[in-house]
Amino acid sequence: MRVAPSPTGDPHVGTAYVALFNKALAVRTGGRFVLRIEDTDRNRYVEGSEAMIFRALRWLGLEYDEGPDVGGPYGPYRQSERNAIYREAVETLIARGRAYRCFCTPERLAALREEQKRARASFLGYDRRCRDLPESEIERLLAAGTPHVVRLATPTSGETVVHDALRGEIRFDNATIDDQILLKSDGFPTYHLANVVDDHHMRISHVIRAEEWISSTPKHVLLYEAFGWPMPVFAHLPLLRNPDRTKISKRKNPVSLAWYREHGFLPEALRNFLALLGHSMPDEREVFTLEEFFAAFDPQRLRTTEPIFDLEKLRWLNGEWIRRLDPDELTRRVLAFYPDRYEPERARAIAPLLQPRLKTLEDWPPLADTFFFGCPDYDPALLTPKKVDRDTAQRILEAAEPAFAGVDPFEPEPLEATGRALCEQLGLKVRQVFMVLRVAVLGSKVSPPLFESMAVLGREEVLARLRAARDKLARLAAAEESTRG
């Protein structure tokens, strides 16, 4: 089993999806999971993206048994380093008459394509002009150093049958199969050749890849046959979709694995979510670990209908995973996510308070910052919520200061007792009083539980904020007074 991404930019969520199921089957069957870098297109090569692929797969916990940076018995695992193998393979094919050299220029091919399109030809593809070039002509062109490619000589009649483990037999009329280019004029192989040759040499038993490859699979079958190699098992996973059901794409949906990491998604949640798309657990469980997934993975339970990547459900799942984290672990994740921003001990203290309130790690700062960087400069109007006029708010704040000053120990239970006594004393509703205190102490109408928060802040800080709130209210009153006057 293998995953074979191209180093052409940010590692793609589809790569992780395919990797996950390949790895799952490897784990289930005791096979090996291989990472191969398909870097045969020098134009699309992006510096550094290979390292990003390594990192992304490890981040998700999809370690590979063989790969460019871990080695293995069938390396090298980078196609750009395997050119001699492909050239030899191509020579074999030519010698057997299953491939041929083509000297047509890209310009001629483009013109050909144009013409076929204009004529609404049912077959779009190479017209095989070079397929039966006389030996002498080939010699002459070769001697002249004419650039050329090597093409697969597909049968012109009959049909090629692809056995897809998920979809059964898929039949293709050979007349509709193009004479695919195998070796480009720059000497690099195309995907089709390199993929087949490498899968064979690397002992890949199951080719599990995305649905978009179905239509080129007959070419691969033809290649295996031409080489006389045993056929691997093919299985095509459904393509991940945008909300409009088109193939998942950058414009319509985040596809970069780094994006998910950088936006506070947990690897546990992302891989759990991916596993949910296209495969179901026998007991219909939706939240499960990688290990549980591997243990329960059953190729029979793979689906072929194309799933829409629902970010909302991912966010829900991420929240589930955050809630499952041990508070110590949540703290570690947060500190790693926001390096050097939060004091660790206090972060640990509020972690259990914020835990049920986070969907992603990005939800942390708005709730947490008030515990680290002082009370935010909130709108004084927040101190007079519904059913609380200014005088009442003033009374609450004035009474709160001495009341909380005397609480000892400064912990949630006694603080709450004091808070409730205060309500009684003022003859006000808990709801009203607590909201005013919440805004005064935390600077927001939305916060973790009030008294737990106060305990974390400490007596001095709480009293200071209470005083500041009182001043704020007084200034507001004065301002209104002068406006009126």
Partner RNA sequence: GGCCCCGUCGUCUAGCCAGGCCUAGGACACCAGGUUUUCAUCCUGGUAACACGGGUUCGAAUCCCGUCGGGGUCACCA
**Which residues carry out catalysis?**
250
Please, which residue, 251 or 484, has the CB nearer to RNA?
Answer: 251
Residue 451 CB, nearest distance to RNA (Å)? 4
- Tell me the closest approach of the beta carbon of residue 465 to RNA, in angstroms: 15
| Nearest approach, Cβ of residue 116 and RNA (Å) | 8
**Which is nearer to RNA, 38 or 66 (by Cβ)?**
38
Q: Which is nearer to RNA, 43 or 482 (CB)?
A: 43
> Minimum distance between the CB of residue 478 and RNA, rounded to whole angstroms?
28
* Of residues 302 and 473, the one with the C-beta less far from RNA: 302
Q: 344 or 376, CB closer to RNA?
A: 376
Least separation in angstroms between residue 96's CB and RNA is 21
Q: How many CB atoms lie within 10 A of CB 434?
A: 20
139: Cβ contacts below 8 Å, ≥ 6 apart: none
CB of residue 89 to RNA, shortest distance in Å:
15
* Structural tokens at position 315: 């966010």
CB of 331 to RNA, least distance (A): 18
Which of residues 26 and 177 has its CB atom nearest to RNA in the complex?
177
What residue has token string 């004029």?
185
Q: Angle of helix 450-457 relative to helix 344-354, nearest 10 degrees?
A: 180
Nearer to RNA among residue 124 and residue 295 (C-beta): 124
Least distance from RNA to the Cβ atom of residue 380, Å: 18
